[in-house]
Structure 1
């Protein structure tokens, strides 16, 4: 059962967090509108699509900034409690520091639950609308797909590869198609300088075509300058959009990752990283809450300004670590799980150290 102390701190926690969201999100919207309004007008974006876009923008950006807003909110209102010597009075009355932390943990649980369900089910849909509008009107003509070193497994026996792909012209370069038999032996291999989808004929055109097939241990080679043929895959299936993982809820994302792993997608780490970050978001909320309480619950000579300055520095360092390890996972063989665990582990240790110091 919640006591008067719990209700008092929890109320301040949730109100401050809500006010910070309501204050800063509109500022972000206006700044973004001022920056992009010229591109929207130049590309003739319809008003209804613009309104939907900013609705998606609010959810998308809000979800990214939730941990930072949470962190700064706790520092802000806890610093006020400390400056008014309310915390001294609470602890002097016999309340232990661990007991004092309870309403903060309850508040963090509420926010973490909200962040979890939004990240798993609401934000993906907003991300889809946000990114589709961005590449349609704000980054018109810019690439939104993975276009290099594309390797795809179509089924248990068929594999395709292109060194690069141009979605605008529907052309893949250095195309290879390999089919293996049930004994995992190469049945035949088709290669071409490029593959183009001819929409009006609903077929593929291969340039500098070459087919090598083994028949009774004899290699049969067929070459043509050009060959029109059909395949079971769609040309667009070669290159999922770079933000594909962000647009799927947790169940769709799990299926998508399994499918891309079976296909041997080269950028599978980027998809797995998105999944792990969603699961880690609630943990981040607890870690940042504990750090914020430990830092701001002590009355300092510089007052709230010192605490807020420290909070902003910690927030930027956390974002820096998150981005650095995220980039390592996306662009190298670094483990996506470690990319998520390392920043949270470092700041988790920092939270424990600061908490022990605050208790003393």
Structure 2
């Protein structure tokens, strides 16, 4: 690595870190100003507030990482161009492709860092961030943490199915419960109860107005009881999963969770797949945004850095906008999640190639 490579790489990483240190406190101040009233009303302990803003910092930086990266490259590359340093470098016989090398090295370092953060650190921060919001800040409190609590129908194994008409998260009670077990497409038995309550201490369920009908060859056997305790193979989360559950899981746990939900025929599977694919697509965007930013800002313009920054901000927000839009479309429509998640990278990758060719000229 030459002196020029080290110089550019150092500026690349240093400017990115400074950009994070500049904008994260601003984000915290804005968030505090919006939520301070509810925190005071709910008498939130200071320790929990401090933990929340630790998680908020990680969550905020991960969400807006493409904008921070893009603006930092635009900023310091425009300064190089205005000081005619880029002209001097290219005039010495170095090609534009060779000039890009320290930028690609910098993008590789940041991509690996973001990838590892997304696998292990961000899920824990996301869980703490969302738990605090739904506990103290959201209307409805912990009730709002879960998705649709009505008409939950799930497959809990290859031959067992459960159904509940509704579920109350505060009392941990489900109503109009039924469990059906099949043997080679033939009903083996069916359990019904007017309500079923989760007992966290011994991890059992209490069923009320319990009825079990066992299908026999020469007649059915019926068992009834006003109340009955039992252990089942499904968890409380199977009745109403937390809406942001996928964001809180590390990579291995997320993959296992998605496999389990696919077998159960979960209606939220697209939401979980979007979270999984974004763990890989976001780090790749570092390379695309780096090439676009260098291509846009390496030319010395009459308007100075202001023009480059204006173009950079517009492109950065356009990328984040399309990334969010296609993510929502994948969750709410029939668009394949992988296509929706990677489409912004593909579109901006084509733009990066076009701008790079123009910059080389």
CA–CA separation in structure 2 for the residues paired with 1:147 and 1:231: 25
Structure 1, residues 197-239: CA drift from partner, whole Å, max 9, x if none?
A: 17599644457x8876643386x59799976564514444412
Cα distance 1:11–1:168, how it changes in 2: closer, same or farther (>3 A)?
same
* Aligned position for 1:23: 22
CA–CA separation in structure 1 for the residues paired with 2:229 and 2:335: 40
Does the Cα contact within 8 Å between 1:153 and 1:264 map onto a contact in 2? yes
Does the Cα contact within 8 Å between 2:166 and 2:175 map onto a contact in 1? yes
Deviates more, 1:237-246 or 1:169-178: 169-178
Candidates 167, 170, 182, aligned match of 2:169: 167
* Aligned position for 1:102: 101
* Aligned position for 1:178: 180
Distance apart, 1:78 and its partner CA? 0.7
1:56 equivalent in alignment to 2:55: yes
CA–CA separation in structure 2 for the residues paired with 1:206 and 1:266: 28
Matches within 5 A, 1:86-125: 86-125=85-124
Distance apart, 1:307 and its partner CA? 1.3
SS at match of 2:188: strand
Count residues with an aligned counterpart. Answer: 355
CA–CA separation in structure 1 for the residues paired with 2:34 and 2:22: 19
SS at match of 1:240: coil
SS at match of 1:52: helix
SS at match of 2:185: coil
CA–CA separation in structure 1 for the residues paired with 2:235 and 2:122: 28
Cα distance 1:80–1:132, how it changes in 2: closer, same or farther (>3 A)?
same
Structure 1, residues 73-104: CA drift from partner, whole Å, max 9, x if none?
A: 00111111111221111111111010010010
* Aligned position for 1:65: 64
CA–CA separation in structure 1 for the residues paired with 2:311 and 2:323: 18
CA–CA separation in structure 1 for the residues paired with 2:251 and 2:73: 29
Structure 1, residues 111-167: CA drift from partner, whole Å, max 9, x if none?
A: 111111111111111111111111111126330112245332222321112354331
* Aligned position for 1:297: 298
CA–CA separation in structure 1 for the residues paired with 2:158 and 2:103: 52
Distance apart, 1:46 and its partner CA? 0.9
SS at match of 2:76: helix
TM-score, scaled relative to structure 1: 0.90
CA–CA separation in structure 1 for the residues paired with 2:10 and 2:198: 63
Cα distance 1:222–1:314, how it changes in 2: closer, same or farther (>3 A)?
farther
Q: Which runs of 5+ in 2 are unaligned?
A: none
* Aligned position for 2:350: 349
Structure 1, residues 318-354: CA drift from partner, whole Å, max 9, x if none?
A: 1121111111221233211111111110011011011
Does the Cα contact within 8 Å between 1:151 and 1:263 map onto a contact in 2? no
CA–CA separation in structure 1 for the residues paired with 2:44 and 2:81: 50
1:82 equivalent in alignment to 2:84: no
CA–CA separation in structure 1 for the residues paired with 2:241 and 2:208: 22
Cα distance 1:74–1:43, how it changes in 2: closer, same or farther (>3 A)?
same
1:256 equivalent in alignment to 2:253: no
CA–CA separation in structure 1 for the residues paired with 2:12 and 2:139: 42
Matches within 5 A, 1:262-301: 262-301=263-302
CA–CA separation in structure 2 for the residues paired with 1:61 and 1:305: 26
Deviates more, 1:241-250 or 1:330-339: 330-339
* Aligned position for 2:195: 195
Cα distance 1:253–1:198, how it changes in 2: closer, same or farther (>3 A)?
closer
1:154 equivalent in alignment to 2:156: yes
* Aligned position for 1:316: 317
* Aligned position for 1:32: 31
Cα distance 1:103–1:235, how it changes in 2: closer, same or farther (>3 A)?
closer
Distance apart, 1:309 and its partner CA? 1.2
SS at match of 1:327: helix
Distance apart, 1:186 and its partner CA? 2.4
Q: Which runs of 5+ in 1 are unaligned?
A: none
Structure 1, residues 159-209: CA drift from partner, whole Å, max 9, x if none?
A: 11235433134344554422111x2322234556x53417599644457x8
